[in-house]
């Protein structure tokens, strides 16, 4: 397992790689705070977990656990996109960052983004990108990001 090393913040809230046991620690309930996320069976979860694990370092999910409650209180994920342009460059895509509503103000979001950004750097990506609502722009600017383009979406369901 890997942890971040933000200075002066101690080890109270470490960032860990997502593990299959995190489902029983409220991982899916945390995602529900971000988006539509009905119940998923243990089997479905394990299958998706294994599919993602098969990508090796090209996909990473991370979590922060509250040691007192044993609940997952922050998460985020990243996949590494392999391109032909930029001399066969790679791009880190940050997805599904969410901090528990009752655990705000402890820099858990910042720790999560830093962990994922570091991973992209280690994977030799030339950039990291993410899409967010306008309301989260200031947060990501504090994480070193700048507004670049617009996101367009087409929903099938």
Interface positions with a second copy (CB under 8 A): 27-28, 31-32, 34-38, 40, 44-45, 47-48, 51-52, 61, 77, 79, 81-88, 93, 95-96, 117, 120-121, 125-134, 137, 140-141, 143-157
Burial class (CB in 10 A: 0-12, 13-18, 19+), 28: middle
Q: Which is nearer to a second copy, 10 or 54 (CB)?
A: 54
Q: Which is nearer to a second copy, 1 or 36 (CB)?
A: 36
Please check whether residue 140 is in contact with residue 128, taking contact to mean a CB–CB distance below 8 angstroms. Answer: no
Please check whether residue 62 is in contact with residue 77, taking contact to mean a CB–CB distance below 8 angstroms. Answer: yes
Residue in this structure with the two tokens 């990501």, named with its chain if needed: 140
Measured from the CB of residue 14, what is the shortest distance to a second copy in angstroms?
Answer: 21
- Can you tell me the distance from the alpha carbon of 79 to that of 48, in angstroms, rounded to the nearest whole number? 14
Measured from the CB of residue 156, what is the shortest distance to a second copy in angstroms?
Answer: 6
Q: Which is nearer to a second copy, 70 or 144 (CB)?
A: 144
Measured from the CB of residue 151, what is the shortest distance to a second copy in angstroms?
Answer: 4
Measured from the CB of residue 16, what is the shortest distance to a second copy in angstroms?
Answer: 16
- Can you tell me the distance from the alpha carbon of 70 to that of 47, in angstroms, rounded to the nearest whole number? 24
């Amino acid at each position: 397992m890997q942890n971040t090393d933000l200075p002066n913040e101690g080890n109270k809230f470490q960032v860990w790689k997502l593990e299959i046991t995190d489902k029983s620690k409220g991982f899916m309930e945390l995602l529900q705070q971000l988006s539509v996320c009905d119940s998923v069976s243990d089997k479905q979860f394990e299958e998706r977990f294994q599919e993602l694990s098969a990508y090796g370092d090209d996909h990473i999910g991370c979590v922060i656990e509250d040691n007192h409650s044993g609940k997952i209180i922050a998460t985020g994920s990243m996949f590494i996109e392999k391109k032909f342009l930029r001399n066969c460059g790679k791009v880190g895509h940050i997805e599904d960052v969410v901090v528990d509503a009752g655990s705000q103000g402890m820099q858990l979001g910042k720790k999560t983004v830093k962990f994922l950004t570091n991973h992209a750097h280690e994977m030799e990506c030339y950039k990291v990108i993410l899409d967010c609502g306008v309301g989260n722009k200031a947060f990501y600017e504090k994480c070193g990001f700048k507004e670049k383009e617009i996101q367009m979406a087409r929903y099938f369901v």
